[in-house]
Amino acid sequence: MTMSDLFQDYSEAAGRSGAYDEMFAPGQVARKSYGQVAGALRELSLADVSARADSMARTFLDRGVTFDFAGEERPFPLDIVPRVIPADEWDVLERGVAQRVRALEAFLNDVYGKMTVVSDGVIPRQLVTTSAHFHRAVHGFEPAGGVRVHISGIDVVRDAAGTFRVLEDNVRVPSGVSYVLENRRAMAKGLPEAFGQQLIRPVEEYPRRLLSALRKTAPSGVDDPTVVVLTPGVFNSAYFEHTLLAGLMGVELVEGRDLICRGNRVYMRTTAGEQRVDVIYKRIDDDFLDPLQFRADSMLGCPGLVNAARAGGVTIANAVGNGVADDKLVYSYVPDLIRYYLGEEPVIANVDTFRLEEKEAREHVLDRLDELVVKPVDGSGGKGLVIGPDASKDELEALRKRVIADPRGWIAQPVLQLSTVPTLSGDKFGPRHVDLRPFAVNDGDDVWVLPGGLTRVALKEGSLIVNSSQGGGSKDTWVLADSPQVPVERLPRQSVTVRERVSVWPVESNWRDRQSEQQQ
Amino acid sequence: MLSRIAESLFWIGRYVERADGTARILDVHLERLNHLPTEERRSVARELLAVMGARPQSEDFGLEELLHALAYDKHSATSIAGSLGAARENARRARETVSSGLWESLNTTYYGLNQHRKDVVGTYRFCHWVLERTAMVSGLADTTVSHDDSWLFLALGRSLERADMTARMLSTRDVLSAGMSWVNMLRCAGAYESFLRTRRAAFGDQHAAEFLLLDRLFPRSIVYALRDADECLAKLDPSAQRVGFINDGRRIVGQARTFLEFHRTDDLMSELPEHMERVQKAVSQASDAISRKYFNQADELAWVGEVS
């Protein structure tokens, strides 16, 4: 079987969906950026492809690359066809993501401070104060280190016209970067031919970038900051990611019970006594972070953390209260925020969004519920989202009631035909919808965007829901480097003998050489 | 114990460790090699082979030939298959001395050598499998053999070879300077996580090389391996002299170890090639000296094709 067999019904299936295909231009011609990948796949038979796919899946299970699904560890399915982004497209994405992070950073600083964005009439006060994640407990102080959005994941999708649009912002606890790192490792071994000689931008520096940003934002006056990763524990769905990042940064992975707050400082219990903690990379929800401020029944956090942060004794990354910025209703204002704070036009546009609080928009939407996607403003992981065309009459009726009861709680968007990438399904490749979550690390001076990010793919034909909890998988995401691989000016290879170089070892005495001399 | 048996055990230790080190090096470098243009791939393949102490058999030496030479060639002591075959052959000759667990695991490994696809993707799995098998052999040797002289010879061979292999891992840095990052150097040795935990935020070539060369606690570092060898030699020859030495092997290993352990430098990277060359030389000289002292017939089994 050859590639033409593996791709036999592809163009027909792609035609059905009407979406932009990342690999093939119309007429099933591989796009330029996919040349190498298409070439590699052409050489492989179905048996090869399935053997590789199996081997990759086994590697994931062996390495424990799993997510927790209903109390069960499952390997995160990785598809064998990568998602390739050419340099020029990446350049736009990179600028757009960094711009967005800068605007959200400024917005958060503002809403927890003077709220000029409200007094200048850019965004209604009520919108901010009614957000479920607007935490008054952190109002009125600048966090130690001066950064709030250390780590962010900005979800983008490509619409049917091939234009990238931002779907949502994640500036609380964006997850998924571990799969980016693991996917690359698995692909390098699973489909080595496809890498060829094109220069694919590496992702392995992410943990180092992250650690250096976290250290840089430590409270002032700390010379050699101690960074920890705070996990809710082994039952969390992203626990694998927490262990991986802590391991790759070489820092401790702590649970709430390992920490103590005293005198507005944070310590961890170690075999050598209590050790001061300067930066906490927080991987638990704000609500569970500090029982003194938020949910009093939380066993996951550590009492006193928020006060310690307020007093400048510890840096918490991301800052507490960031959820107000990724509220989906605030999302609809982000283009305005970019103009307001940065004086720039947005590089990547939003998806058109109806604010259901506005009477006209609400009426319009309620008339067309069966054509739109309706999302709760504070949801994540695809929870509570209703896709109109796929919903039953009863579901739509229930939705209508909930929207009318709480218009602030919902937004509506047109159904987007997310772009597709060939994905192995049974014995052939079929188009499957993908999104993309680029990750950005902000150290206060500079926003660095990890080349690529996590491409999630809906494994069911026609499905638009890519979340891992709902049958999604992922793809390795390649950003091609700008210039073809011109070898960087290389130092001439050293071929001189040791004696001509600096020699620091004692001159060899009469060890064994004497014997060989005699033999000669 | 019989010299002949001692020699077999010494070489089991060396060959198993050599297979392990070669699998580690191959696994990591294969990934880099795959990304190079064909022409460059050829020259790098040659150089990699030279670092491993062998010369190409033919003019036409590419990736496939490299895989054959380092992984599957049963007739070469440089390759994984050759090393594991030789280890098993040695165990067969000393079968009454080694534990049945150790013998069986070497024998099973030998028969498993053929069950792998010999293309690039298959070789990754092969390397992985070899690492598992060698770890098992090592573990069984440590837990089912009395730690008497026989075990000491095995452990001695293993630690000498380990010093040599780590030196080769560090030497590959020169070969693949294009794109061979310190991260991969550490991955070769399985040292990446350990390194990160000890070094906090200090990354870079210099620190990584220092870790693999001089760290006193990481078991695959050269200083650690040489100290292990030193201790084995000391236990094998308890005739404690108050002054001087009568044991050439101990002198060579001890001098190399102490030189490195107490060497102070500001520019480790420029000295690295010399360190690597001298470590490899010390290992081969020590091996010779041990052979002369204990086995007395070693010449035909010596490590072939030493780089000079």
Q: What local confidence, expressed as pLDDT, does residue B88 receive?
A: 95
pLDDT on residue A520: 44
Locate tokens 């002591």: which residue? B77
B177 has a chain A CB within 8 A of its CB: yes
User: Residue A489: its pLDDT value, please?
Assistant: 40
Q: How confident is the model at residue A257 (pLDDT cuts 50, 70, 90)?
A: very high
> Which of B177, B252, B259 lies closest to A511 in CB terms?
B252
> Could you tell me if A509 lies within 8 Å of chain B, comparing CB atoms?
no
**What does the alpha-carbon distance between residue A98 and residue A347 come to, in Å, rounded to a whole number?**
10
How sure is the predictor about A4, in pLDDT bands with cuts at 50, 70 and 90?
Answer: low
Question: How many CB atoms are closer than 10 A to CB A510?
Answer: 8
pTM of structure = 0.86
State whether residue A502 sits within 8 Å of chain B by CB.
Answer: yes
Count of CA atoms in the C-beta half-sphere (13 A) of A518: 6
Provide the pLDDT for residue A337: 96
pLDDT at position A326 is 87
pLDDT of residue A488: 41
Burial of B129 (0-12, 13-18, 19+ CB in 10 A): middle
Rounded mean pLDDT of chain A?
Answer: 87
**Alpha carbons A480 and A487: distance in angstroms, whole number:** 16
Residue B240 has pLDDT above 70, yes or no: no
Q: Tell me how far apart the alpha carbons of residues B168 and B222 are, in angstroms, rounded to a whole number.
A: 11
Rounded Cα–Cα distance for residues B300 and B291 (Å): 11
Nearest-neighbour CA in chain A from B12: distance (Å):
24
Return the percentage of chain A with pLDDT > 90, whole number: 52
pLDDT above 70 (res A268): yes
Per-residue burial over A74-108, b if 16 or more Cβ lie within 10 Å, else e, is ebbbbbbbbbbbeeebbeebbebbbbbbbbbbbbb
Residues 6+ apart with CB under 8 A from B305: B53, B54, B55, B78
At B307 the pLDDT is 46
Answer for the pair B9, B148: CB distance below 8 angstroms, yes or no: no
Q: Which of B47, B121, B193, B270 to mutate to test the interface with A (most CBs of A within 10 A)?
A: B121
Question: What pLDDT score does B196 carry?
Answer: 86
- Confidence band of B303 (pLDDT split at 50, 70, 90): low
Please state whether the peptide bond connecting residue B114 to the residue before it is cis, i.e. omega within 30 degrees of 0: no
- Collapsed DSSP state (helix, strand, coil) of residue A436: strand
pLDDT score of A313 more than 50: yes
Confidence tier at A331 by pLDDT (50, 70, 90): very high
What is the pLDDT, as a whole number, of residue B35?
A: 75
Q: Which of B280, B291, B290 is nearest to B247 (CA)?
A: B290
Output the pLDDT for position A318. 93
CB distance B196–A487 less than 8 Å?
A: no
DSSP letter for each residue of A391-435: S-HHHHHHHHHHHHH-GGGEEEEEPP---EEEEEETTEEEEEEB-
Chain A CA closest to residue B264: A504
The lowest-confidence range among A228-242, A369-383, B23-37, B82-96 is: A369-383
Q: Specify the residue for token string 């109806």.
A: A354
pLDDT the model gives residue B180 = 56
Amino acid at A39: G
A197 in contact with B, Cβ within 8 Å: yes
For B134-147, the pLDDT digits (tens) are 999 999 999 999 99
pLDDT of A350 strictly over 90:
yes
Contacts of A478 in chain B (CB under 8 A): none
User: A163: which 2 tokens?
Assistant: 């234009």
ipTM of the complex: 0.78
pLDDT tens digits for range A155-202: 999 999 999 999 999 999 999 999 999 999 899 888 888 887 788 898
Please check the confidence at residue A17 and state whether its pLDDT lies above 90: no
Check pLDDT > 70 for residue A466. yes
Which candidate, B91, B79, B74, places its Cα nearest to that of B49? B79
Q: Which of A195, A211, A476, A512 to mutate to test the interface with B (most CBs of B within 10 A)?
A: A512
Question: What is the tens place of the pLDDT at every residue in A94-144?
Answer: 999 999 999 999 999 999 999 999 999 999 999 999 888 899 888 989 999
Residue B63 has a pLDDT of 86
User: Which of B236 and A503 is assigned the larger pLDDT?
Assistant: B236
Q: Band the pLDDT of A502: cuts 50, 70, 90.
A: low
- The tens digit of pLDDT for each residue in A35-76 reads 989 988 888 888 888 888 888 888 888 888 877 777 777 778
pLDDT at A485: 46
The pLDDT score that the predictor gives to residue B232 is: 94
CB spacing of A512 vs B265 below 8 angstroms: no
Place of tokens 């050829």: B42
Using the Cα atoms of residue B213, residue B219, residue B220 and residue B223 in order, give the sign of their dihedral: positive
Residue A408 pLDDT > 90: no
Query: SS in 3 state form for A145-182?
Result: CCCCCCEEEEEEEECCCCCEEEEEEECCCCCCHHHHHH
How far apart CA A15 and CA A244 sit, in angstroms, is 40
Residue type, A463: S
β A24-25/A29-30 pair status: antiparallel
Q: At what angle do helices B149-175 and B120-144 cross, to 10 degrees?
A: 150
Confidence at residue B17, expressed as pLDDT on a 0 to 100 scale: 96
Q: Which of B196, B252, B255 sits opposite A248 (nearest CB)?
A: B196
- Secondary-structure percent of chain B, ordered helix, strand, coil, rounded to 5: 70, 0, 30
CA distance A320 to A304: 13
Q: Are A343 and A331 in contact (CB under 8 A)?
A: no
Are B124 and A189 a contacting pair at CB < 8 A?
Answer: yes
Closest A-chain CA to B39: A197
**A25 close to A425: Cβ distance less than 8 angstroms:** no
Residue A151: is its pLDDT beyond 80?
Answer: yes
Q: Do B178 and A503 touch (CB under 8 A)?
A: no
Q: Within 10 A of A492 (CB to CB), how many other CB atoms are there?
A: 5
Residue A69: the pLDDT is 72
Q: Which of A45-49, A252-256, A320-324, A450-454 has the lowest mean pLDDT?
A: A45-49
